[in-house]
Amino acid sequence: MKAKDIMSTNIVSCHPDTSVKDAARLMTLKGFSSLPVVNGNNEIRGIISASDFIGKEIEVPHAMASMKRLLGQNFYRISIEDIYKKTQHFKVSQIMTTKLNTVTPETSIDGVVKSMIEKHHKRLPVVDNGVLVGMITRKDLLKAFILV
CB 109 within 8 A of CB 3: yes
Instruction: DSSP letter for 128, please.
Output: E
* Total number of domains constituting the chain: 1
> Does 54 score more than 90 pLDDT?
no
pLDDT value of position 26: 93
Mean pLDDT over all residues of the chain?
82
pLDDT value of position 146: 81
Q: Residue 115: which domain range?
A: 3-147
Q: Which of 107, 110, 140 is nearest to 123 (CA)?
A: 140
CATH of residue 72's domain is 3.10.580.10
Q: How do residues 2-48 score in pLDDT, each as one tens digit?
A: 999 999 999 999 999 999 889 989 999 998 889 999 999 999 999 99
| Torsions phi, psi for 101 (to 5 deg) | -100, 120
Mean pLDDT lowest for which of 41-55, 81-95, 96-110?
81-95
CB 81 within 8 A of CB 10: no
> Does 60 score more than 60 pLDDT?
no
pTM of the predicted structure, to 2 decimals: 0.77
